[in-house]
């Protein structure tokens, strides 16, 4: 499982030029699942992200979590995080989970994030989306579990 967590001032998802989801200050999380990923791993990673301390405190040190600031979260599925580029110029996606498994794990991940009580929005699994964001910091964390 791979996740890219971006600290944002705002983020939104559009499909066919129509606004689907949007958030204010918080996390934009791109998430992709590998063939070997399982439910326990997904739940553990979601919990870790909710505890990740990458927001500034009063001293401007990164000591606060998304929960501490009562931020908002936008989750977007992105299987291309599993791209293998070590071979030819065309990426291989053979490490990515099959569609149905990835869809199940994505739904599980979103539900676990929603259980935080924070405002949570999401993209639509398998759709072509346009994602707009304002990265704050900039802060971008790559999490591989």
User: Where in the sequence numbering do the catalytic residues fall?
Assistant: 78-80
Token pair, residue 130, equals: 């346009």
Q: First vs last Cα of the chain: how many Å apart?
A: 5
Residue 124 near residue 111, CB atoms below 8 Å: no
Reduced 3-state DSSP string for 66-108: HHHHCCEEEEEECHHHHCECCCCCCCECCCECCHHHHHHHHHH
Closest CA to 107 of 117, 127, 122: 122
């Amino acid at each position: 499982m791979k996740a890219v967590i971006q600290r944002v001032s705002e983020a939104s998802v559009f499909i066919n030029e129509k606004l689907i989801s949007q958030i204010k200050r918080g996390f934009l999380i791109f998430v992709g699942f590998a063939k070997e990923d399982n439910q326990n791993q997904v739940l553990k990673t979601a919990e870790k992200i909710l505890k990740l301390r990458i927001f500034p405190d009063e001293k401007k040190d990164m000591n606060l979590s998304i929960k501490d600031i009562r931020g908002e979260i936008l989750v977007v599925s992105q299987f291309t995080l599993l791209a293998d580029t070590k071979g030819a110029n065309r990426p291989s996606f053979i490490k990515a989970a099959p569609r149905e498994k990835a869809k199940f794990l994505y739904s599980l991940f979103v539900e676990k994030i929603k259980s935080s009580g924070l405002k949570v929005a999401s993209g639509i699994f398998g759709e072509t989306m346009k994602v707009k964001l304002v990265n704050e910091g900039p802060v971008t964390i790559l999490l591989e579990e």
